[in-house]
Amino acid sequence: MIEKERMTEHVMDLIRIDSLSKNEKDVAIKLQKDMEDLGAECFYDDAGEKVNGNVGNLIVKLEGNKSDALPFFLSAHMDTVGPGEGIKPSIEDGIMKSDGTTILGSDDKSGVAIIVETIRALKDNGIPHGDIEIAFTICEEIGLLGAKHIDISKFKAKHGIVLDSSTPDRLVLRCPSAERMEFIVHGLEAHAGLCPENGISAIQLASEAISKMKLGRINDITTANIGVIHGGRATNIIPNHVRVVGEARSHSEEILREQVDHMRKCFHDAVSKNEVTIHDDLSIEGITYIAKLDEYIERSYDRMDVDVKCLPVILVETAVKNLGYTIEHHTSGGGCDANYFNEMGIECVNLGTGMYELHTVNEYLVMEEFFRSADIVLESIRLNTIIPS
């Protein structure tokens, strides 16, 4: 019932539309037309204004043809990471790739295309279904900001599927909590060749802090990373300012707090007691300058932990069985929009779409898994009309 050729052409059309985070408007306009052509109602919320983007989340409502069926929720995000402009997708031997100069953008255009094809298949085949509610979100890649700021009151559905993971062989039920950390080290400028002893190098202090940190894989359920460093103006100037941004993630709140405190301590220890006294002809005692640290710690999102006996799990597992596939429960190290949706009261699982090597120019989409994921979503929606809640 899924039309593979139509689905393939559609995902390639979506991929060719640039949609870096905060610039999703062009792809949103296309999706709005696609959905309205299928008889759906479309509107935007104000999430774009809240994050300084050029469009809000696209919310879609499709009326069901079976009045006693529960409403069903679907979601995928419209934004991509860079390098993601001028993407040129192609398919060879059942694998879709870019030309190697950009990402592919299957994260998450594949999820978006699966949702659109599912709705088309429902309409084409007259499949019984309840009301379908869809959130095509913005800014997922920069902190799940679209989901964070979505107007959840616009939705009646209490369960559904988010399409934003790798393989449909796995059903993501658990995602970690995450905290974002920003450290700003203030040192003292001086000429690096004439009087370096009169300066305090902010870069050196930040480097010392980072060198003492436990980073990468902390344990089976915890990771940490320093991802951004900005500082310095020239090689002949002792840098007086550096900005460092990192994160920590864990499925344990206690371990997450320990890791964040550890990273904070590394910075505080490196910066503390760093001072320099500068003497000149006007001051016998000299002037003492002390290094300083500013820090900003923010919760990015809370962990997701879906009950294995909840309705969306039952629907997907039954769909997989009916179709002759297999699937396993999975614990992910990454967050997704489902973190927020579950917290807000829409119980969601995260189903893979066949995308791999994400956030790199080596990204690829396995077409067989892409089609399989659509089959699973379509069957789950059909089962939603007959499996009791």
Same domain for 131 and 28: yes
pLDDT digits (tens, 9 = 90+) for 83-126: 999 999 999 999 999 999 999 999 999 999 999 999 999 999 99
Q: What is the dihedral of CA 30, 168, 81, 73, to 10 degrees?
A: 50
Same domain for 336 and 188: no
pLDDT > 80? residue 282: no
Q: At what angle do helices 25-37 and 4-15 cross, to 10 degrees?
A: 150
What average pLDDT does the structure give for the chain? Answer: 95
Same domain for 172 and 49: yes
In angstroms, the CA 323 to CA 320 distance is 5
Of 231, 229, 259, the closest CA to residue 247 belongs to 259
The answer to the question of residue 388 being in a domain is no
Same domain for 183 and 172: no
The answer to the question of residue 389 being in a domain is no
CATH number for 111:
3.40.630.10
In angstroms, the CA 177 to CA 185 distance is 26
- 335 within 8 A of 370, measured Cβ to Cβ: no
Q: Could you give the percent of the chain with pLDDT greater than 90? A: 90
What does the pLDDT read at residue 339? 95
Does the active-site annotation cover 140?
yes
Q: Quick one: 334 exposed, middle or buried, by C-beta within 10 A (0-12, 13-18, 19+)?
A: middle
Of 311, 313, 139, 332, the closest CA to residue 220 belongs to 332
What does the pLDDT read at residue 172? 96
What does the pLDDT read at residue 298? 94
> Which residue in the list 45, 79, 108, 117 is annotated as catalytic?
79
Q: Which three-class secondary structure state does DSSP give residue 373?
A: helix
What does the pLDDT read at residue 276? 85
Does the active-site annotation cover 220?
no
In angstroms, the CA 32 to CA 30 distance is 5
pLDDT band per the 50, 70, 90 thresholds, residue 278: confident
What does the pLDDT read at residue 273? 79
| DSSP-derived secondary structure letter, 332 | -
The answer to the question of residue 367 being in a domain is yes
Domain end marker among 277, 300, 323: 300
Percentage helix, strand, coil for the chain under 3-state DSSP, each rounded to 5: 35, 30, 35
Same domain for 117 and 186: no
What does the pLDDT read at residue 281? 61
Same domain for 293 and 249: yes
Token pair 């005692």: residue: 285
| Length of the chain counted residue by residue | 389
What does the pLDDT read at residue 67? 85
State mean pLDDT over 326-331. Answer: 95
pLDDT > 80? residue 332: yes
- 19 within 8 A of 26, measured Cβ to Cβ: yes
Same domain for 166 and 95: yes
pLDDT digits (tens, 9 = 90+) for 189-238: 999 999 899 899 999 999 999 999 999 999 999 999 999 999 999 999 99
Same domain for 339 and 201: no
Mind giving me the DSSP string for 176-241?
-EEEEEEEEEE-B-EETTT-GGG-B-HHHHHHHHHHT---EEEETTEEEEEEEEEE-S-TTEE--E
The answer to the question of residue 73 being in a domain is yes
Range of the domain at 31: 4-176+303-383
pLDDT digits (tens, 9 = 90+) for 22-67: 999 999 999 999 999 999 999 999 999 999 999 999 999 999 998 8
Q: What separation in angstroms does the CA of 10 have from each of 73, 258, 267, 344?
A: 21, 46, 48, 31
Q: Could you give the percent of the chain with pLDDT greater than 70? A: 98
Same domain for 172 and 265: no
User: Tokens representing 386?
Assistant: 């007959």
What does the pLDDT read at residue 284? 62
Same domain for 367 and 317: yes
Same domain for 125 and 21: yes
In angstroms, the CA 261 to CA 209 distance is 13
> Which residue in the list 140, 247, 363, 379 is annotated as catalytic?
140
Token pair 């899924």: residue: 2
φ, ψ for residue 77, nearest 5 deg: -100, 150
Domain end marker among 275, 300, 325: 300
pLDDT band per the 50, 70, 90 thresholds, residue 168: very high
Number of domains in the chain: 2
Same domain for 239 and 290: yes
Domain end marker among 248, 275, 300: 300
pLDDT > 80? residue 160: yes
pTM of the model: 0.89
CATH number for 188:
3.30.70.360
